[in-house]
Structure 1
């Protein structure tokens, strides 16, 4: 049974390199690259999908352009906050984002992240690669619950994009 014969559910693949301090995340979305890229770079959309469902998000700064920077905070029900920040090194519309990523709880551990947006003819494959300082830092990130946040965030992004084919209502407002 191929994915062209039946409807499918987009699955998130998270692969830790066995030797290098690297994690690769691959996910397909039922929307063109312009819409997915916008959801990655527009702060009004980012707050609607990035991270686990149980947390709320506040953006202090989000300047998604080459040379820009960001800081955002996730909060849980008891008020505990989890802050993240970084810098955008390259933002190439609808193609690529290269940025640093730091969790304020581990400020000495900075990762370099690259997101590639591949056009699949009306759908998009996003391949994210995170390169950490060490294998230990990579393993700590995996043990932190990162996988839950990534999977739930991408499910929320599917909902935001509407999982719709062209011609349906466009909740991200890109007109695609």
Structure 2
């Protein structure tokens, strides 16, 4: 297996098995699974952390439930837009998300992604696995610079989880009238 990055504390590990068209993304967060899961499924929170800092994010649709779908766009300072969309096949609260993922710049490259949220006693281990159509597609994804965006996004998620206690990630989803 080839690995980019080194594992120290909360660093993101990105692993590509040379024999399989997969990418594993492994990261621990200093928050319980319910908070981390909510950051992955609440569009108001997703927009605050997903992707690199240099891009802004617009969510057109984000229905994180089994059978739901999503579409979002990252935009650079130069106006270049990068659209992504997919379908949530399974959303099991605080445990697992299975979804498709398509970068609209390469519409034939649909991947199947699974994220598992493991309770480490107040901390959460998130293990993401992306299955692509081919090893060539996987290698192209790795060469795209996705590792930088994933790592920055995870840093931003750490900041959100640490700085939003009692405000963003912990707030009650029910609102009174």
TM-score norm. by structure 2 comes to: 0.90
Number of aligned pairs? 165
Match of 2:104 in 1: 104
Match of 1:121 in 2: 121
Specify the SS of the correspondent of 2:149.
helix
Which structure 1 segments of 5+ residues have no match? Answer: 1-7
Structure 1 moving runs of 4+ over 2 Å: 168-171
1:93-145 CA distance string (max 9 Å, x none): 00000000000000000000000000000000000000000000000000111
**1:174: Cα distance to partner?**
4.0
1:173 aligns with 2:139: no
How far apart, CA to CA, are the structure 2 residues paired with 1:12 and 1:170?
Answer: 25
- What RMSD in Å do the two structures reach over aligned CA positions? 1.4
How far apart, CA to CA, are the structure 1 residues paired with 2:53 and 2:65?
Answer: 27
Which structure 2 segments of 5+ residues have no match? Answer: 1-7, 173-177
TM-score norm. by structure 1 comes to: 0.90
